[in-house]
Amino acid sequence: MTIPKPLSLSILATLLFTQSSRAQVSVKMHTLTGYEDYESFAYAACEKLQVVLNSTRFKNAVRQGSFTRTNGLTSQKIWEKIMNAHEVQGPGGKDSVVDLHARIITIEQDGTRWINNCKPGSWAGTIGIDGRGDGVTAICREKLKKFYDTKDTASLAGHYMHEYMHMLGFSHPGFRKSRSAVYKIGYIARDIIRQGI
Ligand SMILES: [Zn+2]
Protein backbone atom coordinates (compact mmCIF):
# COMPACT_ATOMS: atom_id res chain seq x y z
CA MET A 1 0.00 0.00 0.00
CA THR A 2 1.33 3.43 -0.86
CA ILE A 3 0.76 6.33 1.41
CA PRO A 4 -0.50 9.37 -0.50
CA LYS A 5 2.19 12.00 -0.65
CA PRO A 6 0.40 14.75 1.27
CA LEU A 7 -0.23 12.35 4.16
CA SER A 8 3.40 11.21 4.36
CA LEU A 9 4.47 14.83 4.29
CA SER A 10 2.10 15.71 7.07
CA ILE A 11 3.44 12.79 9.13
CA LEU A 12 6.94 14.12 8.56
CA ALA A 13 5.86 17.63 9.50
CA THR A 14 4.25 16.29 12.68
CA LEU A 15 7.42 14.43 13.61
CA LEU A 16 9.59 17.46 12.99
CA PHE A 17 7.23 19.66 14.95
CA THR A 18 7.17 17.21 17.85
CA GLN A 19 10.96 17.14 17.90
CA SER A 20 11.52 20.86 17.66
CA SER A 21 8.79 21.84 20.11
CA ARG A 22 10.08 19.51 22.80
CA ALA A 23 11.31 21.89 25.46
CA GLN A 24 13.89 20.01 27.47
CA VAL A 25 13.96 20.08 31.20
CA SER A 26 15.96 17.77 33.42
CA VAL A 27 15.31 16.62 36.96
CA LYS A 28 18.18 16.62 39.43
CA MET A 29 17.92 15.29 42.96
CA HIS A 30 20.76 17.11 44.71
CA THR A 31 20.44 15.70 48.21
CA LEU A 32 18.60 12.76 49.77
CA THR A 33 18.68 12.80 53.55
CA GLY A 34 17.64 9.77 55.56
CA TYR A 35 16.44 7.81 52.51
CA GLU A 36 18.83 4.93 53.23
CA ASP A 37 17.61 1.87 51.28
CA TYR A 38 15.21 3.94 49.21
CA GLU A 39 17.74 6.10 47.39
CA SER A 40 17.71 4.23 44.09
CA PHE A 41 13.91 4.14 44.22
CA ALA A 42 13.92 7.93 44.58
CA TYR A 43 16.30 8.35 41.64
CA ALA A 44 14.09 6.08 39.54
CA ALA A 45 11.09 8.31 40.37
CA CYS A 46 13.11 11.37 39.29
CA GLU A 47 14.00 9.73 35.98
CA LYS A 48 10.35 9.02 35.32
CA LEU A 49 9.38 12.53 36.31
CA GLN A 50 11.88 13.88 33.80
CA VAL A 51 10.33 11.81 31.01
CA VAL A 52 6.86 12.98 32.04
CA LEU A 53 7.81 16.66 32.12
CA ASN A 54 9.18 16.47 28.60
CA SER A 55 6.22 14.54 27.24
CA THR A 56 3.52 15.85 24.97
CA ARG A 57 0.92 14.25 27.22
CA PHE A 58 2.04 16.30 30.19
CA LYS A 59 2.20 19.43 28.11
CA ASN A 60 -1.32 18.92 26.81
CA ALA A 61 -2.77 17.89 30.15
CA VAL A 62 -1.42 20.99 31.87
CA ARG A 63 -2.25 23.37 29.06
CA GLN A 64 -5.79 22.04 28.82
CA GLY A 65 -6.26 21.78 32.57
CA SER A 66 -8.32 24.10 34.70
CA PHE A 67 -6.91 24.96 38.08
CA THR A 68 -7.37 27.15 41.10
CA ARG A 69 -4.52 28.90 42.91
CA THR A 70 -2.82 29.76 39.65
CA ASN A 71 -1.06 32.93 40.82
CA GLY A 72 -2.91 34.68 38.01
CA LEU A 73 -1.34 32.54 35.29
CA THR A 74 -3.08 30.81 32.42
CA SER A 75 -2.60 27.05 32.13
CA GLN A 76 -0.22 27.66 29.22
CA LYS A 77 1.88 29.99 31.38
CA ILE A 78 1.90 27.47 34.21
CA TRP A 79 3.31 24.85 31.83
CA GLU A 80 5.93 27.34 30.65
CA LYS A 81 6.84 28.14 34.24
CA ILE A 82 7.35 24.45 35.01
CA MET A 83 9.53 24.03 31.92
CA ASN A 84 11.52 27.12 32.80
CA ALA A 85 12.20 25.48 36.16
CA HIS A 86 13.18 28.63 38.00
CA GLU A 87 12.65 27.85 41.67
CA VAL A 88 11.58 30.71 43.92
CA GLN A 89 11.82 28.73 47.17
CA GLY A 90 14.88 27.02 48.54
CA PRO A 91 18.44 27.10 47.24
CA GLY A 92 17.30 27.04 43.61
CA GLY A 93 19.79 26.06 40.94
CA LYS A 94 19.96 26.22 37.19
CA ASP A 95 16.96 27.17 35.10
CA SER A 96 15.71 24.30 32.90
CA VAL A 97 16.73 21.99 35.73
CA VAL A 98 14.15 20.85 38.27
CA ASP A 99 16.40 21.19 41.31
CA LEU A 100 15.21 18.92 44.10
CA HIS A 101 16.28 18.13 47.65
CA ALA A 102 14.48 15.50 49.68
CA ARG A 103 14.52 14.15 53.21
CA ILE A 104 12.60 11.88 55.53
CA ILE A 105 10.39 13.39 58.24
CA THR A 106 12.00 12.78 61.62
CA ILE A 107 10.90 13.28 65.20
CA GLU A 108 14.03 15.32 65.89
CA GLN A 109 13.49 17.74 63.05
CA ASP A 110 9.72 17.81 62.76
CA GLY A 111 8.34 16.84 66.19
CA THR A 112 5.78 14.31 67.36
CA ARG A 113 2.80 15.96 65.67
CA TRP A 114 4.16 15.24 62.21
CA ILE A 115 5.26 11.75 63.20
CA ASN A 116 1.68 11.09 64.34
CA ASN A 117 0.23 12.60 61.17
CA CYS A 118 2.41 10.21 59.18
CA LYS A 119 1.01 7.11 60.89
CA PRO A 120 -1.04 4.97 58.52
CA GLY A 121 -4.73 5.67 59.04
CA SER A 122 -4.14 8.97 60.83
CA TRP A 123 -6.78 11.63 60.32
CA ALA A 124 -4.26 13.83 58.57
CA GLY A 125 -3.22 11.22 56.00
CA THR A 126 0.00 13.12 55.56
CA ILE A 127 2.31 12.18 52.72
CA GLY A 128 4.89 14.86 53.25
CA ILE A 129 5.50 18.36 54.46
CA ASP A 130 5.27 21.24 52.06
CA GLY A 131 8.53 22.94 51.33
CA ARG A 132 8.02 25.58 54.05
CA GLY A 133 10.25 27.78 51.99
CA ASP A 134 13.43 25.78 52.45
CA GLY A 135 13.07 23.87 49.19
CA VAL A 136 13.60 20.50 50.85
CA THR A 137 10.82 18.04 50.16
CA ALA A 138 10.00 15.96 53.23
CA ILE A 139 8.16 12.63 53.13
CA CYS A 140 6.79 10.30 55.81
CA ARG A 141 8.92 7.19 56.20
CA GLU A 142 5.75 5.07 56.21
CA LYS A 143 4.57 6.52 52.90
CA LEU A 144 7.96 6.08 51.25
CA LYS A 145 8.07 2.48 52.44
CA LYS A 146 4.55 1.86 51.15
CA PHE A 147 5.38 3.35 47.74
CA TYR A 148 8.52 1.21 47.62
CA ASP A 149 6.79 -2.00 48.72
CA THR A 150 4.09 -1.53 46.08
CA LYS A 151 6.63 -0.46 43.42
CA ASP A 152 4.65 2.76 43.14
CA THR A 153 7.26 5.00 41.53
CA ALA A 154 4.39 7.01 40.07
CA SER A 155 3.18 8.19 43.48
CA LEU A 156 6.66 9.18 44.57
CA ALA A 157 7.18 11.12 41.34
CA GLY A 158 3.77 12.73 41.86
CA HIS A 159 4.82 13.72 45.38
CA TYR A 160 7.98 15.35 44.02
CA MET A 161 5.93 17.15 41.38
CA HIS A 162 3.49 18.41 44.02
CA GLU A 163 6.31 19.73 46.18
CA TYR A 164 8.03 21.19 43.16
CA MET A 165 4.93 23.26 42.41
CA HIS A 166 5.36 24.79 45.87
CA MET A 167 8.96 25.58 45.02
CA LEU A 168 7.69 27.44 41.97
CA GLY A 169 5.57 29.56 44.30
CA PHE A 170 2.16 27.88 44.08
CA SER A 171 0.01 27.05 47.10
CA HIS A 172 -3.17 25.13 47.87
CA PRO A 173 -5.87 24.92 50.51
CA GLY A 174 -5.28 22.24 53.10
CA PHE A 175 -7.38 19.49 51.59
CA ARG A 176 -6.40 16.91 49.06
CA LYS A 177 -9.45 17.15 46.80
CA SER A 178 -8.61 20.72 45.90
CA ARG A 179 -8.56 21.80 42.28
CA SER A 180 -5.37 23.72 42.87
CA ALA A 181 -2.57 23.62 40.32
CA VAL A 182 -0.30 22.08 42.99
CA TYR A 183 -2.52 19.06 43.62
CA LYS A 184 -3.84 18.56 40.11
CA ILE A 185 -0.45 18.78 38.40
CA GLY A 186 1.03 16.41 40.97
CA TYR A 187 -1.72 13.95 40.06
CA ILE A 188 -1.24 14.55 36.32
CA ALA A 189 2.43 13.51 36.63
CA ARG A 190 1.52 10.47 38.73
CA ASP A 191 -1.26 9.35 36.39
CA ILE A 192 0.85 9.66 33.23
CA ILE A 193 3.42 7.33 34.79
CA ARG A 194 0.71 4.93 35.94
CA GLN A 195 -0.77 4.77 32.47
CA GLY A 196 2.67 4.24 30.93
CA ILE A 197 4.50 7.17 29.46
ZN1 LIG B 1 1.28 20.78 49.33
Domain at 33, CATH number: 3.40.390
Instruction: Please give the share of the chain, as a percent, with pLDDT higher than 70.
Output: 87
Instruction: Give pLDDT tens digits for 113-132.
Output: 888 888 888 877 788 877 56
Q: Is residue 1 a part of any domain in this protein?
A: no
The rounded Å distance from CA 69 to ligand 1 centre is 12
The pLDDT-based confidence of 134 (bands split at 50, 70, 90) is: confident
The rounded Å distance from CA 195 to ligand 1 centre is 23
First to last CA, the chain: 31
The rounded Å distance from CA 174 to ligand 1 centre is 8
Q: Above 60 in pLDDT, residue 192?
A: yes
Number of structural domains the chain divides into: 1
In three-state secondary structure terms, 157 is helix
The rounded Å distance from CA 47 to ligand 1 centre is 21
Q: Is residue 116 a part of any domain in this protein?
A: yes
The rounded Å distance from CA 70 to ligand 1 centre is 14
Q: Is residue 39 a part of any domain in this protein?
A: yes
Q: Is residue 157 a part of any domain in this protein?
A: yes
Which residues constitute the domain of residue 45? 24-195
C-alpha 45/C-alpha 143 separation (Å) is 14
Q: Is residue 11 a part of any domain in this protein?
A: no
Instruction: Give pLDDT tens digits for 3-27.
Output: 555 555 555 555 444 444 556 999 9
The rounded Å distance from CA 171 to ligand 1 centre is 7
Q: Is residue 57 a part of any domain in this protein?
A: yes
The rounded Å distance from CA 133 to ligand 1 centre is 12
Q: Is residue 190 a part of any domain in this protein?
A: yes
Q: Which residue has the higher pLDDT, 48 or 178?
A: 48
**pLDDT recorded at residue 19:** 46
Count of H-run helices and E-run strands, the chain: 9, 4
Burial class (CB in 10 A: 0-12, 13-18, 19+), 104: buried
Q: Is residue 2 a part of any domain in this protein?
A: no
The rounded Å distance from CA 175 to ligand 1 centre is 9
The rounded Å distance from CA 79 to ligand 1 centre is 18
The rounded Å distance from CA 163 to ligand 1 centre is 6
The rounded Å distance from CA 172 to ligand 1 centre is 6
